[in-house]
A and B are shown apart, each in its own frame.
Chain A
Amino acid sequence: MAAAEGSGAGGSLFPGLADVSISQDIPVEGEITVPVGSHSPDEDYSTLDEPVKDTIMRDLKAVGKKFVHVMYPRKSSALLRDWDLWGPLVLCVSLALMLQGGSADSKDDGGPQFAEVFVIIWFGAVVITLNSKLLGGTISFFQSLCVLGYCVMPLTVAMLVCRLVLLAGAGTISFIIRLIVVGAMFAWSTLASTAFLADSQPPNRKALVVYPIFLFYFVISWMILTFTPQ
């Protein structure tokens, strides 16, 4: 009634909107409720009061769990969800320490060697992360750094084995053993990181993301393989 009159009167001025009837007689009512999550008792528990041992043990357990995930690469989201950079830092520092002093003149090349390895690992990981983001990946920056850092673990184990083998002697047989060990660990690292990172890419571009990871671990493996102690 009033709506029809209104639309009739408005039809001459706004011909395109003649079908629209805006009525002010019918009130719009209802309820909009936003579901509020109930406060679980854990939220009120502050971690400031717990003993230091608990804090450290919790973090150590998280790091340990991630190491296990790297050793048996399954498609689990635990590595991605709670990222942390403790593991990569420890691995990177230990690898760089073990690779130090591997060149002839220790007074010249002992210094840069540590910085070299450190910088290679971190800048390489940053470049791979940027590349995967630019190719349309859904993974976040630090999650990717976390995965790439943790997957250096097989190569650190390979470095340990190489050092032990080199203690026994540096002949052709030891070179072959080292080659096999480093090759196997390199393949393991690449597969482990691919299992986590390739899922976040569109399916037809997995090869584009895997290649830089392959190159990254190849460079690290090469540094491990050509290490000769003095």
Chain B
Amino acid sequence: MAAPGAAGGGRSGAPAAEWGGFEDNMQGGGSAVIDMENMDDTSGSSFEDMGEMHQRMKEEEEEAEGEAGAGEEEEDGEFLGMKGLRGQLGRQVADQMWQVGKRQASRAFSLYANIDILRPYFDVEPVQVRARLLESMIPVKMINFPQKIAGELYGPLMLVFTLVAILLHGMKTSDTIIREGTLMGTAIGTCFGYWLGVSSFMYFLAYLCNAQITMVQMLSLLGYGLFGHCITLFVTYNIHFHSLFYIFWLVVGGLSTLRMVAVLVSRTVGHTQRLILCGTLAALHMLFLLYLHFAYHKVVEGILDTLEGPNMPPFQRVARDIPAVSNAVLNTTAKAIALTL
């Protein structure tokens, strides 16, 4: 045991000598192997090394100063004060510059990192987006098997912006005036508020009801459900018949609601939970379409006056009179309401 061990040790000594030469190459200068840790790189990934370098710099400076100070001390006593002051000032300036640089680097790094978090959700092809848009109107039949939801954010985001544009168009053509706010701000706030707020609320309910759905999937599902809203509002903001709107509301809104409900049902177990989830989603979805049509479209002046009365709330919508257009629209709307009521 001892002899093979010694022999092994002897034998290991020879390769160790060779390997030792190899080790030197890995660490020292004048080698072809680049040691990434010691690269003088100001990108965000190595600012810990910047700190080390700075620390080393500071220590070297202090050492140099200490030596210089000790050297100068005997020579000229009055120069010590100035050199000491300059050294300190230099150190402070270097310190400040490094702090500012570090702050900038970390801010830039975190900004870049945030964009990269969202990158996989935007990895789509145009054909996929088109297919998903059409699918969002077709209710699935198989609810015993969990349906696949694509966790993609490009389509929903574009649909929300399209809804904002359509809403803007509707508000302009119906000449709604918004006091204490702007048209654009209201449209963006409403659409994004619905998409993000209702998605979060539904995700919370899904968590309570043990449904198998993630936040991104919920955002995606609800976002694609807005496709029906876009179609309905685009048509009915231009053709002002209330009966047409109700038909569209039931058919188009109903189809997209049915699809969302079917997908959620396929991912939930238990009757009560299914009922809670799907009832809430259906109610919110359909009511939102109703709200968008009536709140941002031409409202007959009489109804507003009787509802609100003398005390006007600060956020109000008042119909404005453009004689040529508004009379025609008023008459048509009044007739349509009279027909439906």
The interface on chain A, measured as residues whose beta carbon lies within 8 A of the other chain's beta carbons, has a size of: 37
Given A135-B154, A208-B154, answer yes or no on A24-B21 (Cβ-Cβ < 8 Å): yes
Q: Which of A22, A24, A112, A120 has the most CB of B within 10 A?
A: A112
State in angstroms the CA–CA spacing of A205 and B125 once bound together: 6
Contact A222 B168 (CB under 8 A): yes
A103 touches B177 (CB 8 A): yes
Q: Are A208 and B124 in contact (CB under 8 A)?
A: yes
A6 and B14 contact, CB distance less than 8 A? yes
Residue in A closest to B180 when the chains form the complex, CB atoms:
A108
Known: A103-B177, A109-B177. A218 touches B165 (CB 8 A): yes
Residues in B with CB closer than 8 Å to A215 are 158, 161-162, 165
Asked if A105 is at the interface (CB within 8 A of a chain B CB), the reply is yes
Interface residues on B, range: 35 or more
Contact with B along A192-230 (1 / 0, CB 8 A): 000000000000110110011001001100100010000
Q: How far is the CA of A8 from the CA of B184 in the complex (A)?
A: 80
Say how far B29's CB is from chain A's closest CB, in angstroms: 13
A22 CB contacts on chain B under 8 angstroms: 18, 21-22
Q: What A residues does B183 contact at CB under 8 A?
A: 116
In the complex, chain B residues whose CB is within 8 Å of the CB of A9: 11, 14-15
Within B1-42, the residues touching A (CB, 8 Å) are 8, 11-12, 14-15, 18, 21-22
**Does A52 make an interface contact (CB < 8 A)?**
no
Contacts of A13 in B (CB 8 A): 8, 11-12, 15
B251 CB to nearest A CB, Å: 26
**Stretch from A60-68, A81-89, A126-134 that touches the partner:** A126-134
The prevalent SS among residues of A at the interface is helix
Determine the chain A residues whose CB is within 8 A of the CB of B323 once the complex forms: none
Pairwise interchain contact A104-B320, C-beta atoms closer than 8 A = yes
The answer to whether A208 and B126 touch across the interface, beta carbons within 8 angstroms, is: yes
Compute how far the CA of A12 lies from the CA of B184 in the bound complex, rounded to whole angstroms. 78
Interface membership of chain B positions 238-258, coded 1 if the CB is closer than 8 angstroms to chain A and 0 otherwise: 000000000000000000000
Q: Which residues in B have their C-beta under 8 angstroms from that of A222?
A: 165, 168-169, 172
**A120 to B161 CA separation, bound complex (whole angstroms):** 12
B82-90, B115-123, B288-296: which lies at the interface: B115-123
Query: Once bound together, how far apart are the Cα atoms of A9 and B7, in whole Å?
Result: 11
Given contacts A24-B21, A115-B182, A215-B162, contact A10 B15 (CB under 8 A): yes
Bound Cα distance from A211 to B155, whole angstroms? 11
B177 contacts A105, C-beta separation under 8 Å = yes
Q: How far is the CB of A33 from chain B (nearest CB, A)?
A: 15
A45 on the B face (CB < 8 A): no
State whether A212 and B161 are in contact (beta carbons under 8 Å apart), knowing that A134-B119, A226-B172 are contacts in the complex: yes
Bound Cα distance A105, B176 (Å):
12
Closest Cβ–Cβ distance, residue B182 to chain A (whole Å): 4
Closest to B21 in A: A24
Query: Which chain A residues border B115 with CB–CB below 8 Å?
Result: 130, 133-134
Nearest B residue to A103 via CB reads B177
With known contacts A9-B14, A108-B179, A218-B165, A207–B126 Cβ distance under 8 A:
yes
CA of A219 to CA of B92 in the docked complex: distance in angstroms?
52
CB distance from B121 to the nearest CB of A (A): 8
Check B15 against A135 for contact (C-beta < 8 Å). Answer: no
Q: How far is the CB of A186 from chain B (nearest CB, A)?
A: 13
Contacting B at CB under 8 A, from A105-146, are 105, 108-109, 112-113, 115-116, 119-120, 127, 130-131, 133-136
Question: By CB atoms of chain A within 10 A, which of B11, B161, B169, B320 has the most?
Answer: B161
Task: Tell me how far the C-beta of A52 lies from the nearest C-beta in chain B, rounded to whole angstroms.
Answer: 30
Instruction: Please measure, in the bound complex, the distance between the C-alpha atom of A205 and the C-alpha atom of B172, giving whole angstroms.
Output: 33
A72 contacts chain B at the CB level, 8 A cutoff: no
Contact with A along B68-105 (1 / 0, CB 8 A): 00000000000000000000000000000000000000
Tell me the smallest distance from the CB of B245 to a CB of chain A, in Å: 22
CB of A68, distance to nearest CB on chain B (Å): 31
Minimum CB distance partner of B11 in chain A? A9
Please determine whether A204 and B126 come into contact, CB atoms closer than 8 angstroms. yes
Contact of B129 (CB < 8 Å), options: A116, A208, A212: A208
B14 contact set on A, CB distance < 8 A: 6, 9-10
Interface residues of B (CB under 8 A from A): 8, 11-12, 14-15, 18, 21-22, 115, 118-119, 121-126, 129, 154, 157-158, 161-162, 165, 168-169, 172, 175, 177, 179, 181-185, 320
For the A-B complex with A6-B14, A222-B165 known, give 8 more contacts whose Cβ atoms are closer than 8 Å.
A22-B18, A104-B175, A131-B154, A204-B125, A204-B126, A207-B126, A212-B161, A215-B161
Name 23 interchain pairs, CB-CB below 8 A, sorted by A.
A9-B11, A10-B15, A13-B12, A13-B15, A22-B21, A105-B177, A112-B185, A115-B182, A116-B183, A120-B184, A131-B154, A131-B157, A134-B121, A134-B122, A135-B122, A136-B119, A136-B123, A205-B125, A208-B129, A211-B158, A212-B158, A212-B161, A215-B162
The 5 closest A-B pairs by CB, nearest first: A134-B122, A10-B15, A112-B182, A207-B126, A116-B182
